[in-house]
Structure 1
Amino acid sequence: MADKTQDARQGRDYINTVAAVAIAPSGTGEELSEYVAQAVGVIRESGLKNETNAMFTNIEGDLDEVLRVVRDATLKLAAQGHRTGVSLKLDIRPDARDQMERKPQLVNEILAQRSES
């Protein structure tokens, strides 16, 4: 049964969203880690579930909150005068939770079953 938790502030159903986002400035040189760290810092301070890998930071939460955090992280760089590029992919599943853990878990289970055959 779908979890229809209400977002108390909006009076609407929670819309679970997993985002893969990469935020980086243009024209700042070859090494972007210092700038990426600033954007990732905003994401980590948001309190939303997140993880960073070599290419993206994944975020999970309500759609509106995820989009707000992506906006805030982008503005962290843009407000410094940097032309800022954002790559964003969203997986919106209103009836799901904990997809950042569950998706890799499911793939691992399928691979384990195949190796047992």
Structure 2
Amino acid sequence: MNSPDRNAVRQEVPVDEHGKPIINTVAAVAIAPSGVGAELSEYVAEAVEVIRESGLPNETNAMFTNIEGNLDDVLKAVRDATVKLAEQGYRTGVTLKLDIRPGFSGQISEKQQLVDEILTKR
């Protein structure tokens, strides 16, 4: 497969060794319980720990944890992190945004680099 064209509307979709499409996804997810007080960091840390244990590339910032991988793997990590809080009996809110871009990988860092390059040229 050729390198993906950032400006193309459609990309060739890579497949794994079983012929299953590899649907690369970058997710921004925030998972937190309701009704536990003003400080959520301890609970958020429990969810982030599950995401980090998934082995998928991830990074946590002030508002979200970004995760990258095949769509099924990303959704499983989000589900498992959500269940970590929900199984303790907490009402749990999940904010999730997905950027699904077949043919691309490494976007968790490449997107930021691309924006920095554009800004540097200005």
Normalization by structure 2: what TM-score?
Answer: 0.88
1:29 aligns with 2:37: yes
Match of 1:78 among 58, 83, 86: 86
* More strand by percentage: 1
Asked if the contact 1:16–1:62 (Cα under 8 Å) also holds between the matched residues in 2, the reply is yes
Pairing of 1:93-104 with structure 2 (within 5 A) = 93-104=101-112
Percentage identity across aligned positions?
A: 69
Q: CA deviation at 1:5?
A: 3.6
Match of 1:58 among 60, 63, 66: 66
Aligned partners of 1:47 and 1:7: how far apart in 2? 20
Amino acid at match of 1:51: E
Q: Which consecutive aligned stretches of 4+ in structure 1 deviate over 6 angstroms post-superposition?
A: none
Pairing of 1:36-55 with structure 2 (within 5 A) = 36-55=44-63
Q: Give a deviation string over 1:27-58, Cα, whole Å, max 9, x none.
A: 00111001000000000000000000000000
Aligned partners of 1:105 and 1:29: how far apart in 2? 37
Asked if the contact 1:7–1:14 (Cα under 8 Å) also holds between the matched residues in 2, the reply is no
Q: Give a deviation string over 1:48-70, Cα, whole Å, max 9, x none.
A: 00000000000000000000000
Aligned partners of 2:97 and 2:42: how far apart in 1? 23
Q: Which residue of 1 aligns with 2:27?
A: 19
Asked if the contact 1:20–1:59 (Cα under 8 Å) also holds between the matched residues in 2, the reply is yes
C-alpha RMSD of the superposition: 1.2
Asked if the contact 1:16–1:93 (Cα under 8 Å) also holds between the matched residues in 2, the reply is yes
* More helix by percentage: 1
* Aligned residues between the structures: 112
Normalization by structure 1: what TM-score?
Answer: 0.92
Aligned partners of 2:34 and 2:17: how far apart in 1? 36
Aligned partners of 2:109 and 2:56: how far apart in 1? 14
Shift of the 65–7 alpha-carbon distance from structure 1 to 2, 3 Å rule, reads: farther
